[in-house]
Amino acid sequence: MTKLNELQEQIKLLNLENDSLVERVEEIEIIALISKQFEDADTEKEVYQIVLERISIMKTIPYCAVFKIEDDKPLLETEYSYLSSDADLVKNFSFPEDILKEISESKTVFFDSQMERFDNFKMKFFDKYLIPDCYLIIPFDIQNRQKFFLFANHCKEHDITIYKSFLEQVISLAKNKVTNIKLIEYIINQNNNLEQIVEEKSEELYESEAKYRELIEQLPDAVLVHHKGIIEYLNPATIKLLQAETELELIGKNIMDFVAPEWRDEILLKIKNTLSGKDRARSPLSEFEMITLKGKKIFIEASGAKFYQFGQDRIQVIIRDITERKFHEQKIKESQEKFRLAFETAPDAIAITRLDDGSYVEINKGFEKISGYANKKIKGISSLKLNIWNNPADRETLIKALKKNGFVNNLKADFKLKDGSIIKGLMSARVMNVNGIPHILSTTRDITEQEEANEIIETQNRFLQSVINSLSNPFV
């Protein structure tokens, strides 16, 4: 290629880039013009009409229309053609099922006279104005109502698909404008009905407040309202919780006077966070200690919510006494700690396995020492897969007894260790539920040496008995 040809190619590319830039500037101008015209649009149809007119005229697209889908059928809403000002440009139309399906899936649809589906699409125009050669359909939705724009062209050289991105921008702009119109209409309607609603609801509100107060008075949980920490209201349960005789002993007191000193900084921060939050938004439950009028420490859980009354922020607090629950939780914790220590330090092999498949959940140090298996390596693996039971029938005996009685005591069985050696074990087991799933808690003692010693003793006893028998019969 000569330098002249290269230069011509570069000029051609520059011209294409320049045309593209001009096209983009033109599209920006159209969008700006449409946005300006939208300012005077008060209805959904006016918005669509502005878009159709501008697109049809400035992009020389002969026919533009908006359809809505009702009962799975397309119905014409409005249309425009720069070729004619006559109404009812479209005489009749029929959309095939495959096109309607793509529209329902929010897919952009394009087809022209070269495509098979073109013949299935029926839309009759005034023939003197337009005989369409291609169609572009762009779906959109307004408040869950499906609609679509249709653009029809009758010039094969004028490819309307190149405008797809631009048209989608304009449609998005129109959709936002229509949404705003609908919102304004909704606000106006709501405002028009507001006075009537307020009048109708005032009496209901009064009755509701009376019922709410009665409900609060009957609640077993303590409820109080404070403003800047000063108690303004409390229900009978609060009086009982704080060991007062009457509400007069508590009204006007600072709520922090009843919070244990070691908790006050934390509770003050929570009050600050509640006041900075949204109205009626309830803070997360907090557990802390309070001190009653009689000096008794109690453990409570509380949650507060900010509300606006008489021009000021207040906080409603719901309090529940959990002293007894915390006592039992501590007992359970201590019991769990005892179990953990016994589990970890016992010299016998202790294991927790699933009842259904024998998978190991946890083993103790004694199990590791006796079997040779590490806790981390054995978790999730079935005892059958590891061949720990030298005779699998022994496990079947165990499972049957557990399912029948819930426990097994002193089951003798042979167990195979990691190194392949066999030991004799004495197992006791219980069924326990973990998160609703049956598990086995088993304790196994290595009695190999004991069994061997018993066998030696038994052998010696038999020998001695035979000697004694022979001495009693010397001539035999």
Q: 244-265, pLDDT tens digit by residue? A: 999 999 999 999 999 999 999 9
Q: 402-461, pLDDT tens digit by residue? A: 999 999 999 999 999 999 999 999 999 999 998 889 999 999 998 888 877 777 777 777
Q: Within 10 Å of residue 249's Cβ, how many Cβ atoms?
A: 13
Q: Are 101 and 95 in contact (CB under 8 A)?
A: no
* Chain centre to alpha carbon of residue 328: 33
Reported pTM: 0.41
**Among the listed residues 137, 159, 205, 144, the one whose alpha carbon sits nearest the alpha carbon of residue 61:** 159
Q: 171-220, pLDDT tens digit by residue? A: 999 899 898 888 888 888 877 787 777 677 766 666 676 777 777 888 88
Q: Helix (H, G, I), strand (E, B), or coil: what is residue 121? A: coil
- Give residue 189's pLDDT: 82
DSSP string, 208-225: HHHHHHHHHHH-SSEEEE
Residue 401 predicted with pLDDT over 60? yes
What does the mean pLDDT of the chain come to?
A: 84
Compute the distance between CA of residue 100 and CA of residue 320 in angstroms, rounded to an integer: 60
- In terms of phi and psi (left: phi > 0; alpha: psi -120 to 50; beta: otherwise), the region of 397 is alpha
Residue 388 predicted with pLDDT over 60? yes
- Give residue 3's pLDDT: 59
Compute the distance between CA of residue 114 and CA of residue 132 in angstroms, rounded to an integer: 12
User: Kindly report the CA angle at 238 between 233 and 243, in degrees rounded to 5?
Assistant: 125
Q: 304-332, pLDDT tens digit by residue? A: 888 888 788 889 999 999 999 988 988 88
Compute the distance between CA of residue 408 and CA of residue 285 in angstroms, rounded to an integer: 44
Least confident of 114-118, 125-129, 137-141, 441-445: 125-129
State the pLDDT confidence band at 338, using cuts at 50, 70 and 90. Answer: confident
Q: 48-88, pLDDT tens digit by residue? A: 999 999 888 888 888 899 999 998 889 989 988 887 766 56
- Give residue 13's pLDDT: 57
Q: 23-52, pLDDT tens digit by residue? A: 677 778 888 888 888 888 889 999 999 999
Q: 267-316, pLDDT tens digit by residue? A: 999 988 888 877 667 788 889 999 999 999 999 999 888 888 878 888 99
Q: Are 411 and 425 in contact (CB under 8 A)?
A: no
Q: 134-185, pLDDT tens digit by residue? A: 889 999 998 889 999 999 887 666 678 888 888 888 899 989 989 888 888 8
Q: How many residues does the chain have?
A: 476
Residue 475 predicted with pLDDT over 60? no
Q: Are 118 and 112 in contact (CB under 8 A)?
A: yes
Higher-confidence position of 354 and 345 = 354
Residue 94 predicted with pLDDT over 90? no
Q: Are 427 and 444 in contact (CB under 8 A)?
A: yes
Beta bridge partners of 81: 84
Beta bridge partners of 360: 353, 379
> Tokens at residue 248, please?
């007069």
Q: Are 440 and 430 in contact (CB under 8 A)?
A: yes
- Give residue 24's pLDDT: 73
Which residue type does 99 have?
Answer: I
**Among the listed residues 47, 49, 35, the one whose alpha carbon sits nearest the alpha carbon of residue 179:** 47
Contacts for 351 with CB less than 8 Å, ≥ 6 apart: 360, 362, 363, 364, 367, 440, 441, 442, 444
State the pLDDT confidence band at 98, using cuts at 50, 70 and 90. Answer: confident
Percentage with pLDDT > 70 across the chain: 85
